[in-house]
Amino acid sequence: MRKNRMVYALYSLAFLLLCCKQPTNKEELVLADTSLAEKHRKSEDIANLVQEYTNIQGFNGSVLVAQKGEILHKGGYGYANIEWEVPNTEEGKYQIGSITKSFTAMLVLQLVAQNRVTLQSPISDFIPAWKQKPVGQATIHELLTHTSGLARDIPFEEGQYYSPEQLVDTILEQPIHQAQIGHFGYSNMGYVLLGYLLEYMYKQPYEKVLEYELFEALEMKATSYSPSNKLQAKMTNGYHKSWGNYYAVNKANMSKAYAAGGIISSVEDLYTWSSRWHKILPKGLVAAYTKAHIADEKTGGFYAYGLEVIPRTIGNTQEKINTIGHTGVIDGYCGLLVKVPEWDVTIVLLNNTSRAYLNSMTKGILGILNGSGYDFPRKPLAMHMEKVIASSGVKAGIGFYKKHQHDKQYYTDEQELIVAGYRLLNQADAKGAAAVFALAIEMYPEQDNPYDSYAEAMLALDKTEEAIKYYKISLNKNPNNANAKKMLEKIEIKC
C-alpha cells in the first residue's frame, strides 16, 4: 500500500510539472511551426525560381541550397539524357571543371601543414629537375593564386590522351611573362604543375592522392577523378547548345583537364566538401586557404588558394555579401559552388550543358534566403514568338514580337531571332523565314548577320537579285563575313 502511494505521488508531481511547463511548450511549438513554415516557403520559392530558369533553357542540372547545417532544398531539373528524356536528379554526377582547383589547393596546403613544402619557395626547391626551366622559379603561392606569369592554357589535340608527364613536359617549355608575375592571370597550367607536385611528393598518381586524402576521408562516395572513358553510375550526359539545338559532347577523354578540372561530383558531395574544410586543415591554413590574396578584375573580387572570393548581389537589391567558392566550366558542363560565411549558407549548382545562368540564379537565391526582393528570369522573346508562330502563323508571331519588344518580362537577342528564322527555313517555309529575317534587320540594322540570313531566304525563294543585294550589304557591314563572300562568288559562277 505504501508503495502504491509513493507511485501515485510521483505521477502527481510529474503531472503538475507538465502543467506548469505547458505554456512554454506551446510557445516553442509555435516557434517551431513558424520556422518550419519559413523553411518550406524558402524551399518552394527556390524550386519555383530554378524551374523558371529551366523553362527558358537557362538551367539543366541539379541544385542544393543549405543554411546553418540544414539542407533547405535539393533537386534535379531538366534532363540527364536529353535524347531519352531521362530526368536529372539530386544524385546526378557532373564534371565540375575548375571547382577541382579547390581540391588541388587543399592537397597542397596539407603538404604545407606537414612541413613538406613552403608557400613562398620556388617549386623547383621540391622538384630539382625543374631548376633550369622558366617556370622553376615560380613559387607555390604564385601558382595557387594565378600570379606566376604562366599563360592560361596550352594547345591540345582533340581526342588525344595526355598523361600528366606529357602535360607537364609541354608546360615546362612555356615562357614566363615577367611583367605578369605578381598580377592575376588565370592559368590552368599552374594547377597542372601543382597536380604533378602532389604526385611527386606522395609518389602516387593524383587520382590516388585525391581518393586517400580527401574522398575517402570525407566519405564523398559520389566523387571521383576520371581522365578516361570509364563509365560512371548516375553520370549525366554533357551537351553543347548551338543555334537552338543540343549536341552531345565526347567525354571519352578528359585527361587534359587533370588537376585543373578533372573531378566528377554531385551537389551533395560538394556540400559535404565545402562544409568540412575546417576539419582538414589547421585553423591558420584554413584562413590562408580562403583569404583574398589577389584582385581579379574580371569577377570584381579576389582569388584565394583555389577559391574565388566574390561580393555577390542579394536579389534585386543594391546590397552585396561576400562569398567564397569557385566556378567550373568544361566541355558540356558548368557549375558553381558558393559559400556565404556570414549567413552559414551553401549554394551548389551543377549543370550538364555548356552554358547556364548560374550567377543570376545565385543572385535570386540569395534574395530568397535574405527575405528581400528577387526577380524571375526575363523570358526570351524570340522563343515565345516561335510559339505564337506555331499556333497562329508568322504574321501573328511577328506582331507578338513587336508588341512585347520593350516589355521588361522579355529580353531580345539577335542570335535567337536568327535561329527562329532558320527553323522556318529548315521547315521549307522560306517566305516565313524571310519575314523573321526582315524583323531581325529592323531590330539590328547595324549587324551583318540578319542581312546575310535574309539573302539566304531570298535564294530559297529564287530571288537572286535580292539575295545579291543583301549579301553585299552584309559584306559592307562586315568585310570579314566569309559566308557572304563565298555565296556571292557562287552566284556569280552560276550567272
What CATH number should be reported for the domain holding residue 406? 1.25.40.10
Same domain, residue pair 424 and 318: no
The answer to whether 104 and 259 are in contact (CB under 8 A) is: yes
Q: Count CB atoms within 10 A of the CB of residue 383.
A: 17
Judge if 440 and 310 occupy the same domain.
no
More confident: 163 or 289: 289
Write down the pTM of the prediction: 0.81
Higher pLDDT, 338 or 161: 338
Cα–Cα distance measured from residue 263 to residue 254, given in angstroms and rounded to the nearest whole number: 9
Q: What is the mean pLDDT of residues 149-163?
A: 80
- The single-letter code of the amino acid at 183 is H
Percent of the chain with pLDDT over 70: 91
Query: Containing domain of residue 454, as a range?
Result: 379-494
CA dist 127 and 196 (Å) reads 10
Same domain (yes/no): 365, 220: yes
Q: Are residues 311 and 396 in the same domain?
A: no
Q: Is 125 part of any domain? A: yes
485: part of which helix (H) or strand (E)?
helix 482-494
Q: Where are the alpha helices (DSSP H) in 405-448?
A: 414-426, 430-443
Query: Does 477 lie in the same domain as 356?
Result: no
Q: Which of 27-31, 101-105, 106-110, 310-314 has the lowest mean pLDDT?
A: 27-31
Angstrom distance (rounded) from CA 296 to CA 90:
32
Share of the chain above pLDDT 90, in %: 71
Q: Is residue 257 part of a domain?
A: yes
Average pLDDT over residues 376-401: 93
Please determine, for residue 15, whether its predicted confidence score (pLDDT) is greater than 70. Answer: no
DSSP state of 427: T
Asked if residue 351 is part of any domain, the answer here is: yes
Of the three residues 353, 370, 387, the one that is the final residue of a domain is 370
Which has the minimum average pLDDT: 44-53, 85-94, 218-227? 218-227
- Same domain membership, residue 383 and residue 269: no
User: pLDDT tens digits, residue range 360-371?
Assistant: 999 999 999 998
Position 17 in a domain: no
The tally of domains found in the chain comes to 2
pLDDT of residue 154: 79
DSSP 133-183: SGGGG-BHHHHHTT-S---S-----TT----HHHHHHHHHTSPP-GGGTTS
Domain boundary (310, 338, 370) is at: 370
Mean pLDDT of 193-217: 95
pLDDT at 52 over 70: yes
Cell numbers 573580387 correspond to 301
Q: What is the pLDDT of residue 235?
A: 93
Residue 37 domain-assigned? no
Give yes or no for residue 2 having a pLDDT over 50.
no
Mean pLDDT of the chain: 89
Q: Could you report the per-residue pLDDT of 71-108, keeping only the tens digit for each?
A: 999 999 999 999 999 999 999 999 999 999 999 999 99
The Cα 4–Cα 65 span in angstroms is: 55
Cα angle for residues 334, 335, 336 (degrees, 5° grid) = 145
Per the domain annotation, does 75 fall within a domain?
A: no
Residue 229 confidence (pLDDT)? 65
The owner of cell 553543347 is 240
- 39: three-class secondary structure by DSSP: helix
Mark whether 327 and 451 lie in a shared domain.
no
* Residue 184 lies inside a defined structural domain of this protein: yes
342, 370, 398 - which closes a domain: 370
The model's pLDDT over 123-144, given as tens digits with 9 standing for 90+, comes to 999 999 999 888 889 999 999 9
Q: Return d(Cα 84, Cα 225) in angstroms, integer.
A: 27
CATH number at residue 336: 3.40.710.10
- The whole-number pLDDT of residue 153 equals 85
Q: What is the pLDDT of residue 248?
A: 87
In this structure, are 354 and 413 located in the same domain? Answer: no
Per-residue pLDDT band for 65 (boundaries 50, 70, 90) equals very high
Residues 120 and 231 in one domain: yes
One domain for residues 168 and 315: yes
Judged by average pLDDT, the poorest of 30-44, 232-246, 437-451, 464-478 is: 30-44
Q: Is residue 63 part of a domain?
A: no
Q: What band does 19 get if pLDDT is binned at 50, 70 and 90?
A: very low
pLDDT at 34: 56
Rounded mean pLDDT of 175-196?
A: 91
Got the DSSP string for 301-369? EEE-SS-EEEEEE-TTSS-EEEEEEEEEEETTEEEEEEEETTTTEEEEEEESBS---HHHHHHHHHHHH
Mean pLDDT of all residues in 282-306? 93
Do residues 336 and 397 share a domain?
Answer: no
- 10 Å CB burial of residue 179 (0-12, 13-18, 19+) is exposed
* Domain identity same for 405 and 464: yes
